[in-house]
């Protein structure tokens, strides 16, 4: 029996990959390593993923094709190797040597006040005596320049060790960078995922952040490419998840927490923040109106076994303070007290995380 590579390829051309047009030869799945030794034939099949569910069936089909279309005497069984393309590891962002803790502020959906929480958490940490940086990583909806009253601020560059480094804008003691500083605020940012990720890499690694106790990242809502890039390439200390008590928001928060807990991401959850927990009129500070539902965040935290870090009330001044560029945590109000409480809980959760201690007991937060 005369065996030669083309005979093997012709037999393998009868094997099709489920759901794709073409056969395993035309799809480039047969590696150019066909080896023939007498009636013994061996070669390799290439699959894009090691978890491809069709690997076993394709290997059996290739063996059957050779035995059927060439000869049942061909020694092929067990001689087909399976390979997957070598995947280069993702380039890690340079370590920020002066940054002690990196805290992500995330939400499962937009509109729950994630950016407001991130801004006020940063200011509250400064009020507690810490050095704080804030990265506005919400590429397609940057809002931190507005909240800090620095819209239109110019970004300057300084040279350090042969590198040109961006100088973060500093306001209320918080060092901040945002894509909002370099794009037209009245135009939509039409970037593909790779462009957005590269822009964030520059804001992080090509900036002079200096010495920081806390580096707060205002993440995009949901689970976008940018979101995944951040959590997979930065050594994030932990994530704070923001939700409202509304059931639809809680459902998305649950998904967000589940994402961070996956084996591929595995970022610690520092805790949950229930934003817009109730409405309190300025004229009646002792009154509470639960317009989005009551204790939804408390119940979710208990069911997922994560700490409830804070419940942030709505007051009529929180919107105007953000629009005016003066975060409400700068004042001495019931809401600023809630953000100071949140900052202290984040400090405690971070310290426990760094000391490898279990999270504190989940309790109802009262202000």
Clarify whether residues 10 and 117 are in a common domain.
Answer: no
Instruction: State the CATH number of the domain containing residue 276.
Output: 3.40.50.300
Distance separating alpha carbons of residues 30 and 15, to the nearest angstrom: 11
Considering 55, 83, 111, which residue would you say is the last residue of a domain? 83
Considering 57, 83, 109, which residue would you say is the last residue of a domain? 83
Work out how many domains the chain is built from and give that number.
2
Domain for residue 113, yes or no? yes
Give 10-residue mean pLDDT values along the chain (367 residues): 88 91 90 89 88 90 94 91 67 68 89 92 96 89 90 86 90 93 66 71 88 93 70 83 89 86 83 91 83 88 91 79 82 88 95 74 47
Nearest one of 129, 23, 115 to 319, comparing CA atoms: 115
Clarify whether residues 155 and 61 are in a common domain.
Answer: no
Clarify whether residues 103 and 45 are in a common domain.
Answer: no
Domain for residue 91, yes or no? no
Clarify whether residues 335 and 202 are in a common domain.
Answer: yes
Q: How many residues does the chain have?
A: 367
Q: Where are the beta strands (DSSP E) in the chain?
A: 35-37, 40-46, 80-83, 99-107, 132-136, 156-160, 163-167, 169-171, 174-178, 212-218, 238-243, 269-279, 308-314
Distance separating alpha carbons of residues 38 and 76, to the nearest angstrom: 12
Distance separating alpha carbons of residues 317 and 321, to the nearest angstrom: 6
Clarify whether residues 29 and 142 are in a common domain.
Answer: no
Distance separating alpha carbons of residues 102 and 14, to the nearest angstrom: 54
Domain for residue 323, yes or no? yes
pLDDT score recorded for residue 129: 95
Clarify whether residues 65 and 165 are in a common domain.
Answer: no
Q: Which pairs count as long-range contacts for 49-57, CB under 8 Å and 24+ apart, including other chains?
A: 49/84, 50/84, 54/17, 54/18, 55/82, 57/18
Clarify whether residues 288 and 176 are in a common domain.
Answer: yes
Clarify whether residues 72 and 103 are in a common domain.
Answer: no
| Half-sphere exposure of residue 352: CA atoms within 13 angstroms, side-chain side | 16
Clarify whether residues 116 and 193 are in a common domain.
Answer: yes
Burial of 286-306, coded b for 16+ CB within 10 Å and e otherwise, reads: eeeeeebbebbbbebbeebeb
Clarify whether residues 214 and 310 are in a common domain.
Answer: yes
CA distances from residue 341 to 106, 344, 354 in whole angstroms, order as listed? 19, 5, 20
Distance separating alpha carbons of residues 35 and 57, to the nearest angstrom: 22
Clarify whether residues 72 and 118 are in a common domain.
Answer: no
Q: Which domain holds residue 182?
A: 99-354
Considering 83, 110, 133, which residue would you say is the last residue of a domain? 83
146 within 8 A of 228, measured Cβ to Cβ: no
118 within 8 A of 231, measured Cβ to Cβ: no
Clarify whether residues 78 and 144 are in a common domain.
Answer: no
pLDDT score recorded for residue 232: 65
């Amino acid at each position: 029996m005369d065996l030669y590579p083309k005979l093997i390829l012709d037999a393998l051309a009868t094997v099709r990959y489920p759901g794709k047009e073409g056969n395993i030869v035309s799809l480039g799945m047969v590696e150019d390593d066909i080896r023939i030794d007498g009636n013994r034939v061996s070669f390799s099949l290439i699959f894009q993923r090691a978890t491809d569910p069709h690997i076993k069936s394709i290997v059996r089909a290739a063996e059957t094709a050779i035995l059927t279309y060439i000869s049942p005497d061909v020694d092929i069984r067990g001689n087909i190797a399976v390979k997957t393309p070598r995947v280069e590891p993702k380039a890690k962002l340079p370590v920020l040597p002066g940054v002690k803790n990196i805290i992500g502020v995330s939400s499962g959906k937009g509109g729950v006040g994630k950016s407001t929480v991130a801004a006020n958490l940063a200011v509250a940490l400064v009020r507690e005596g810490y050095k704080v940086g804030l990265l506005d990583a919400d590429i397609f909806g940057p809002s931190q320049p507005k909240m800090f009253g620095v819209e239109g601020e110019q970004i300057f560059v300084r040279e350090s060790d042969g590198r040109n480094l961006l100088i973060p804008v500093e306001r209320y003691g918080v060092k901040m960078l945002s894509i909002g500083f370099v794009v037209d605020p009245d135009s939509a940012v039409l970037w593909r995922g790779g462009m957005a990720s590269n822009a964030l890499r520059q804001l992080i690694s090509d900036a002079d952040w200096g010495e920081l106790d806390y580096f707060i990242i205002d993440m995009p809502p949901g689970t976008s490419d940018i979101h995944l890039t951040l959590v997979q390439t930065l050594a994030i200390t932990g994530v704070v998840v923001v939700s409202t008590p509304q059931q639809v928001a809680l459902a998305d928060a649950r998904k967000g927490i589940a994402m961070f807990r996956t084996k591929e991401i595995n970022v610690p959850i520092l805790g949950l923040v229930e934003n817009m927990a109730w409405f309190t009129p300025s004229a009646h500070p002792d009154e509470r109106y639960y317009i989005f539902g009551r204790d939804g965040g408390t119940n979710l935290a208990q069911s997922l076994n994560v700490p409830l870090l804070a419940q942030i009330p709505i007051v009529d001044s929180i919107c105007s303070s953000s629009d005016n560029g003066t975060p409400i945590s700068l004042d001495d109000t019931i809401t600023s007290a809630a953000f100071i409480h949140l900052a202290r809980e984040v400090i405690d959760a971070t310290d426990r995380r760094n000391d490898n201690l279990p999270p504190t007991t989940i309790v109802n937060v009262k202000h």
